[in-house]
Amino acid sequence: MNLSQKEIIEVKQILGTDPSIVELQIFDTMWSEHCSYKSSKRVLKQLPVTGKNVALGIGEDSGIIRFTKKDGKSYCLAVSHESHNHPSQILPVEGAATGVGGVVRDVYCMGADVIGVLNSLHFGDQINGPSIVKDIKDRVILGVSDYANPLGVPVLGGETVYHPSYNENCLVNVAAIGLVEESEIIHSYAPKCAGTEPYDVILIGKSTDASGFGGASFSSQTLDQDDDSSNLGAVQLHDPFMKRVVVEAMKQLFKEIRENKIEVGYKDLGAGGIACAASEIAASGGFGVDIDLSKVLCGIEGLGPEVISCSETQERFCMVVPRDFSQRCCDIFNKDFDMGRFYPNAGASVVGHVTNNPFFRLFHKGEVVGNIPITAITTDVSVIRESKPKEMVVTELSESLSKEQIKENLKKSLKHPNNCSKKPVYRHFDQGVRGDTVMYPGEGDAVIVTPIEGCDVGVVTSIDSNLYGEHDPYISGAYAVAEGIRNVISAGGLPLAVTDCLNYGNPENPHVFHQFEEGIRGIKDACFNLNPDSKEEPLPIIAGNVSFYNESKTGSEVVPSPVILVVGKIEDSSKGMRAKVDSDGQTLILIGKRYSEFGGTQIGDSRPELGNVPPQVRYDDERLQNTWVAKEIESSLISSCHDISMGGLWLALVEMAMGRNGNADVGMKLNFGSECDLGTTLFSENGGYVVSVSNDNKQRALDSLKDLGVDFEVLGHTTRETVMELAQCGDLFYKENMEELASHWN
């Protein structure tokens, strides 16, 4: 239990009596940071959440953005983005798997079909950290694949980031994207007519057990407050097989609902289980609800009412339907799909009904076990947190890297877990199920799928974060948005919307809360300044999640880790842009100026002489670069394109040579000018791009760059001989076989 003494007194005042154990559980869940956003709500208000293409903004289980029109139908993308950090630290397989399971439920319950998931995984130091961090990494990856693969949704990308601050608190963020026709969106509240005709509450899916009891409250405290064994029970258990069957049955259900024009409310069961879902579905429609816990189909006997009402058994949904449709609804799950035949008591059952009384009443074996004014559940709980910046001394670059240091770092940096090929991670994830994948992970900066049959319009998406927040929490937010936008543009797409998952330490620490506020400010500024579609309207944020209390056992917080998903579209998916350069004689051009800003970068981490200013986001410059790249991909001037981010220009070049398969078809012969600081040029992580253009297109590319006023530099060209050659003013200082580089990077 995580309620404070002050909150318990408030509960007593609301109820006018001592709360029952069921009531206490419900308040503990509903008022947890996880469910109530009590610290963060005030800050989140400054984010842009509306826009001309937003079909459904923040407030229900997913946000929905309009995607494209075909045959008179308006297709939309429903997106949800969540964290599952604490469960994954305690039980990595189950924690990561239910992270996927939870986020896809948010999308399915809107009537959408999930077309893909993305993940952002942050692990501890694999080289010097304790051995458990490796184990957690392996098991989290197994957990993601254990869920997404059987469910039959492709993993459309992701990132793995390593840093010692995650040694005792890994981060597992997952986002899901679904496709839904605008006219077929299903809402997560009881419809108006539930006030005038009888509406039943039906519970659907896996039979209820005790798993995940207390999960929401567990995610709203630091991990060291309880011993591990009591935390274990709070982790939910995954069953993607069951989910697949439930989802197939739901498709049938939704089809009949649409055909018969039946008004329903549909919601997934996540944190807080039945208590949370049933009360919210009724309350947000303006109704009360009666639930008889004895009617809940349970997987085991003898569960107490507080467990039945609040356990977080996975693979469940709840719906409100007109009573005359209840029987047919249950039959779909129990007869047509015969769910009880392969899992004890799985299926659908009527567990209560919507009322016009403003109370959430719970019954068990004929007795009232909870009676809560419905307003108490929808009450805005909030706490004011103190905010104070961490004291930091800003240092600038004092000594450039020598040629020897540079040469030493070239190969070494490719081996680092943050920089090396991520194929050993994503090869475990099904990337092609549904058959819609047209640009696979590793081919370009984003993944492209074409989810609408007979339509070439593609969804382009990427998920990103960085390690700059330790030095400047504003930059971590702004850069993550800028990078996501860059990735979508680099793949040939245009961004439509953003979602955020905000991972921070304990908000009760003033400097942590300040990091959070600054991260939000950065995200907001980037959304306002980097929307390629409009200078006036920001890119909208359509979904998000806040995860606090991510810290080590000794109380030091994780690097501020706002994780950003950008979803975009490409009109003609056959124009999807790849990163790999596969022919010789291509000219390589660097887009975007390099600055000596090394705070939080891969090379800056261990070299104080490089200063601690992280890579700044220069909105006007980035906007211009984005405009040029988008335009010249569209005009087919560019042959391949890769963005610059973690690892800098050097890593970008190596990745362009290696491609999806990790073997180079060509070499690169590069020559830098006399005025450039080599260390800065090769390793700085300022945003930018590397593009390759054919000889025929070279002059046109250079002219159009000059016309637009974009900062660029011709780096050199690709060669038939598979060798990497680096020179300054014609003076060769590094030469290495691509095969040798590949052996380090792969």
- Told to check if 345 binds another protein by CB under 8 A, we report no
* Under rule CB under 8 A, residue 338 binds another protein: yes
Distance of CA 672 to the CA centre of its chain: 38
Q: How far is the CB of 169 from another protein (least distance, A)?
A: 26
Residue 315 makes contact with another protein by CB under 8 A: no
The conformation of residue 557, written as its DSSP 8-state character, comes to B
Please choose, out of 195-203, 218-226, 333-341, 378-386, the segment that lies near another protein by the rule CB under 8 A: 333-341
Instruction: Return the residue of 123, 162, 429, 549 that touches another protein, per CB under 8 A.
Output: 429
238 binds another protein per the rule CB under 8 A: no
Of the two residues 157 and 352, which places its CB atom closer to another protein in the complex? 157
Non-local CB neighbours of 554 within 8 Å, separated by 6+ positions: none
The site map against another protein for 141-180 (x = CB under 8 A) is -x--x---xxxx----------------------------
Asked if 437 touches another protein (CB under 8 A), the answer is: yes
In the complex with another protein, the residue whose CB is nearer, 140 or 242, is 242
List 81, 84, 514, 744, catalytic entry: 84
Q: Is 34 a catalytic residue?
A: yes
Pick between residue 150 and residue 667 the one whose CB is nearest to another protein: 150
Shortest reach from residue 430's CB to another protein, in Å = 5
Identify which of 270, 288, 282, 351 has the alpha carbon closest to the alpha carbon of residue 87.
270
For another protein, the binding residues in 65-94 under the rule CB under 8 A are none
Residue 579 CB, nearest approach to another protein (Å): 10
Strands (E), 389-464: 437-439, 447-449, 458-464
Residue 510: CB minimum distance to another protein, A? 45
DSSP 728: E
* Binding residue (CB under 8 A) for another protein from 31, 37, 426, 548: 426
| Residue 177 or 613 with smaller CB distance to another protein | 177
Sheet holding 587-591, edge to edge: 640-644, 688-693, 587-591, 712-719, 667-672, 723-728, 731-737
DSSP 258-321: HHTT---EEEE--TTHHHHHHHHHHHTTT-EEEEEGGGS-BSSS---HHHHHH---SSEEEEEE
Given the rule CB under 8 A, which of 1-9, 49-57, 235-243, 409-417 is the region that contacts another protein?
A: 235-243
Quickly tell me which residue has 């290696």 as its tokens: 658
Q: Which of 59, 344, 389, 432 lies at the binding interface for another protein (CB under 8 A)? A: 432
The secondary element (H helix, E strand) that includes residue 563 is strand 561-570
C-beta of 341 vs 388, nearer to another protein: 341
User: Which residues within the stretch 384-423 sit at the binding site for another protein (CB under 8 A)?
Assistant: none
Residue 115 parent element (H or E): strand 113-123
Distance CA 162, CA 167 (A): 9
Size, binding site for another protein by CB under 8 A: 43
C-beta of residue 210 within 8 angstroms of C-beta of residue 308:
no
Stretch that binds another protein, among 59-67, 93-101, 429-437, 669-677 (CB under 8 A): 429-437
* Residue 582 in the binding site for another protein (CB under 8 A): yes
CB of 576 to another protein, least distance (A): 8
Q: Which of 336, 396, 703, 721 binds another protein (CB under 8 A)?
A: 336
Can you give 606-623 as a three-state secondary structure string? HCHHHCCCCCCCCHHHHH
Residues 710-739 touching another protein, rule: CB under 8 A, are: none
Q: Which of 328, 422, 434, 607 touches another protein (CB under 8 A)?
A: 434
Question: Does the protein bind another protein through residue 438 (CB under 8 A)?
Answer: yes
Residue 655 as a binder of another protein (CB under 8 A): the answer is no
**Interatomic CA distance for residues 371 and 356, integer angstroms:** 14
* Distance linking the first and last C-alpha atoms of the chain: 47
Among 28, 94, 436, 655, binds another protein (CB under 8 A): 436
Binding residues among 509-538 for another protein as defined by CB under 8 A:
none
For another protein, the closer CB: 225 or 574: 574
Query: Site for another protein (CB under 8 A): which residue of 267, 353, 364, 580?
Result: 580
Minimal distance in Å, beta carbon 447 to another protein?
11
For β-strands 458-464 and 561-570, DSSP reports them as antiparallel
* Candidate list 574, 636, 699, 743; residue touching another protein; CB under 8 A: 574
- Residue carrying structure tokens 């429609």: 285
Who contacts 613 (Cβ-Cβ below 8 Å, separation ≥6)? 394, 395, 396, 471, 472, 597, 598, 599
Give the DSSP per-residue string, 676-688: S-HHHHHH---SE
What are the CB-based long-range contacts (under 8 Å, 24+) for 378-385?
378/283, 378/284, 379/14, 380/41, 381/31, 381/36, 381/38, 382/38, 382/39, 382/41, 382/42, 383/38, 383/39, 384/42, 385/39, 385/507, 385/508, 385/510, 385/513
Positive or negative: CA dihedral 34, 36, 41, 42: negative
Q: Pick from 659, 667, 688, 716 the residue near another protein by CB under 8 A.
A: 659
Work out the number of other CB atoms within 10 angstroms of the CB of residue 576. 21
* 3-state class (DSSP) for residue 75: strand
Report how far residue 123's alpha carbon sits from residue 119's, in angstroms, rounded to the nearest whole number: 13
- Check: CB of residue 602 under 8 Å from CB of residue 419: yes
Residue whose CB is less far from another protein, 85 or 431 = 431
Residue 312 is a binding residue for another protein (CB under 8 A) = no
Tokens 């960085």, residue? 466
Binding mask 240-279 for another protein (x = CB under 8 A): xxx-xx--x-------------------------------
Q: Does 439 bind another protein (CB under 8 A)?
A: yes
Of the candidate spans 28-36, 609-617, 631-639, 657-665, the one that interacts with another protein by CB under 8 A turns out to be: 657-665
Determine, following the binding rule CB under 8 A, whether residue 39 of this chain makes contact with another protein. no
Which of these is catalytic: 34, 122, 514, 642? 34
Minimum distance from CB of 664 to another protein (Å)? 12
Establish if 98 lies at the interface with another protein (CB under 8 A).
no
Least distance (Å) between residue 501 CB and another protein: 25
**Tokens standing for residue 301:** 């006997």
Q: Which of 211, 231, 450, 645: binder of another protein (CB under 8 A)?
A: 450
Residue 430, interface with another protein (CB under 8 A)? yes
Q: Is the dihedral of CA 488, 525, 562, 609 positive or negative?
A: positive
Residues 659, 493: Cα–Cα separation, whole Å? 19
Tell me whether residue 72 or residue 435 sits nearer to another protein (CB atom).
435
Is 84 catalytic? The answer is yes
Rule CB under 8 A: choose which of 325, 337, 360, 650 binds another protein.
Answer: 337
Strand partners, 107: none
Q: CA–CA separation, 179 vs 176, rounded Å?
A: 10
Catalytically active residues, by annotation: 34, 84
Q: Residues in the site for another protein, rule: CB under 8 A?
A: 142, 145, 149-152, 239-242, 244-245, 248, 336-338, 342, 426-440, 443, 450, 453, 573-574, 578, 580, 582, 659-661
